[in-house]
Structure 1
Amino acid sequence: MKKLLGLILVACSCNSFAQTSEFVQTIPEFYLPKDVNFSLGGIVLFTPKYAGSDERKAKVYPWLDAQWKNGAFFSSINGLGYNFSKDPTIQYGLRLGVEPARDESSSSKLQGLGDVDTTIEPGAFLNYNINQNYSLLSSIRYGSGTNHNGLQTSLGARVTTAISDQHRLTATIRANWANASYMQSYFGVNDQQSFNSGYLPYMPSSGLTDVKLSTSWHWTIDANWSLTTGASVSRYSSEVTKSPFVFQKTPVTVFSAASYRF
């Protein structure tokens, strides 16, 4: 139990600035080579300073991934959770993910809006692998935002193709929906925030936040080392772009990650 609590604390510290993925993407237990599978490494991200920012930042984060054949998993990308399915064509389960903090000190354009704290989000996921190349993905997460009652739901699809034994290309498209509490926390301006920041009040309603297309190239260098490089581009919905501090409608993120498998 102490080890598990330690892992959760590591996840929170690693993800106070980098969030877990919308989707859980684990290797089906049938294909895992060991009962316990570990990978360690690092990831470099070039990303907007906050959702809607036209300023960018470059950061280096630790990469940790652990997956057990019994269905448990823990990683910087997937969070902490359990896949109840033993069928390689379908994955479903529960997890704890992380929604990162938004500090007003990170950009002059957030001054007066206050901070939104890092939140651990309980949620559920369901993935269906049509075959080894095509998958349908979904998730639901709750607990983010100022009052910790933000709700998000994501639906998507992933296409993977192997161009050789060592190289694989992946493309993912997803749409994200959020309730009014989430939208207000990350894109809204209440009366007090308006007074402090000078922005006009704005109260967005629930709805689509964005649609995102991601691509990546995975290189299996040898039995232990691998390198993944990719990029994503999002298109915010009109409900988001009406926010007075959203200055970039189509944010782009670029990343590269190296990992060592034990």
Structure 2
Amino acid sequence: MKRLLGILLLAGAVTAQAQTADFVQIVPEYYLPKDVNFSLGAAALYLPKYKGSDEHRVTAYPLFDGQWKNGAFFSAVNGLGYNFSKIQGLQYGLRMSLEAARDESRSTKLHGLGDVNTALEPGAFLNYSFTPNYSLLSSLRYGSGIDHNGLQISLGGRISTALNSQHRLSATIGANWANSAYQQSYFGVTPQQSLASGYAQYTPTAGLTDIRLHASWHWNIDTNWSLTTGASISRLSGDAAKSPFVFDRTPVTVYSAASYRF
């Protein structure tokens, strides 16, 4: 109970700033050592100040991860959800994910555009693994944006390989599609925002927002401690890339995370 309480407190600390991953990537239940598995840690990130920014910031977040053999999971990366599948290689279920806030005060280039608050996104996921090293990934998330009616659909694939018992390399490629409500919230400029910011009015339509490549190195230091270091590069596409306050269409994020498994 104390461990669970600690995880819930950390979840509250993360909620205001961070966001969950596009894809759910949980450990298959037959690899879980216990019925209930917990880990705690912290991550340091170097990332753009907002989507399309050419300015970067350094920040740190607490990490938490809980996974149950019955299919439930709760983590800073995967969100809160349940995997209904009992078939080896197949994962599908529901989850609650998080879309991070975009604060106007974060960059002078956002002044006049207003804030976009943190949003909870109910959604679903479906993953299929051909082998432990090759997987297809997909997710659907709804509820982001100013009016909480943004829809995102992500499709991708993951490949990983173990160098030895302690080191593993992984790479994920994904494409993200969003509806017009999401596009308007994060890349559009309304008439009121145009007057306040000086940017030309802009109304993006639904479409592909970006293609993302992510690579990471995972090191199991011992039976409890692990370290993961990685980087991702995105290529903004379509109407998202044409936004008047997008100054870098190929943003890069670098991170390192340490965790302790109980």
- TM-score for the superposition, normalised by structure 2: 0.96
- Equivalent residues of 1:74, 1:81 under 8 A apart: yes
User: Displacement, 1:10?
Assistant: 4.2
SS for the counterpart of 1:130 is strand
- 1:77 alignment partner in structure 2: 77
Report the Cα distance in structure 2 between the residues aligned to 1:132 and 1:7, rounded to whole angstroms: 28
- 1:54 alignment partner in structure 2: 54
Report the Cα distance in structure 1 between the residues aligned to 2:5 and 2:196, rounded to whole angstroms: 39
User: Displacement, 1:241?
Assistant: 1.7
Q: How does 1:212-223 map to 2 (within 5 A)?
A: 212-223=212-223
Report the Cα distance in structure 1 between the residues aligned to 2:218 and 2:259, rounded to whole angstroms: 11
- 1:148 alignment partner in structure 2: 148
- Equivalent residues of 1:8, 1:80 under 8 A apart: no
Report the Cα distance in structure 2 between the residues aligned to 1:8 and 1:144, rounded to whole angstroms: 22
Q: How does 1:35-114 map to 2 (within 5 A)?
A: 35-114=35-114
User: Displacement, 1:219?
Assistant: 0.4
1:183–1:8 CA distance, 2 compared to 1 (3 A): farther
Question: How far does the alpha carbon of each residue in 1:193-231 deviate from its partner, in whole angstroms, 9 at most, with x for none?
Answer: 001101000000000000000000000111000000000
In structure 1, stretches of 5+ residues that fail to align are: none
1:12–1:155 CA distance, 2 compared to 1 (3 A): farther
User: Displacement, 1:187?
Assistant: 0.2
- 1:31 alignment partner in structure 2: 31
User: Displacement, 1:238?
Assistant: 3.0
Report the Cα distance in structure 1 between the residues aligned to 2:244 and 2:92, rounded to whole angstroms: 38
SS for the counterpart of 2:199 is coil
Report the Cα distance in structure 2 between the residues aligned to 1:220 and 1:121, rounded to whole angstroms: 32
Question: How far does the alpha carbon of each residue in 1:24-64 deviate from its partner, in whole angstroms, 9 at most, with x for none?
Answer: 11011111110100000000010000001000000010010
Report the Cα distance in structure 2 between the residues aligned to 1:153 and 1:5, rounded to whole angstroms: 32
User: Displacement, 1:17?
Assistant: 1.6
- Equivalent residues of 1:12, 1:98 under 8 A apart: no
Question: How far does the alpha carbon of each residue in 1:136-156 deviate from its partner, in whole angstroms, 9 at most, with x for none?
Answer: 000000000000000000000
User: Displacement, 1:15?
Assistant: 3.2
Report the Cα distance in structure 2 between the residues aligned to 1:10 and 1:161, rounded to whole angstroms: 31
- Equivalent residues of 2:207, 2:238 under 8 A apart: no
- 1:137 alignment partner in structure 2: 137
The one-letter amino acid paired with 2:255 is F
Report the Cα distance in structure 2 between the residues aligned to 1:238 and 1:183, rounded to whole angstroms: 10
Q: How does 1:184-203 map to 2 (within 5 A)?
A: 184-203=184-203
1:234–1:8 CA distance, 2 compared to 1 (3 A): same
Report the Cα distance in structure 1 between the residues aligned to 2:66 and 2:8, rounded to whole angstroms: 12
The one-letter amino acid paired with 1:57 is R
Report the Cα distance in structure 2 between the residues aligned to 1:117 and 1:67, rounded to whole angstroms: 28
Give the stretch that moved more between structures: 12-21 or 179-188.
Answer: 12-21
- 2:205 alignment partner in structure 1: 205
- 1:232 alignment partner in structure 2: 232
1:12–1:118 CA distance, 2 compared to 1 (3 A): farther
- 1:11 alignment partner in structure 2: 11
- Equivalent residues of 1:11, 1:79 under 8 A apart: no
The one-letter amino acid paired with 1:176 is N
SS for the counterpart of 2:131 is coil
Moved over 4 A (4+): 3-10
- Equivalent residues of 1:46, 1:255 under 8 A apart: yes
Report the Cα distance in structure 2 between the residues aligned to 1:9 and 1:246, rounded to whole angstroms: 35
Report the Cα distance in structure 2 between the residues aligned to 1:33 and 1:123, rounded to whole angstroms: 28
- Equivalent residues of 1:219, 1:227 under 8 A apart: yes
1:152–1:259 CA distance, 2 compared to 1 (3 A): same
- 1:242 alignment partner in structure 2: 242
The one-letter amino acid paired with 2:191 is D
User: Displacement, 1:86?
Assistant: 1.4
- Equivalent residues of 2:123, 2:142 under 8 A apart: yes
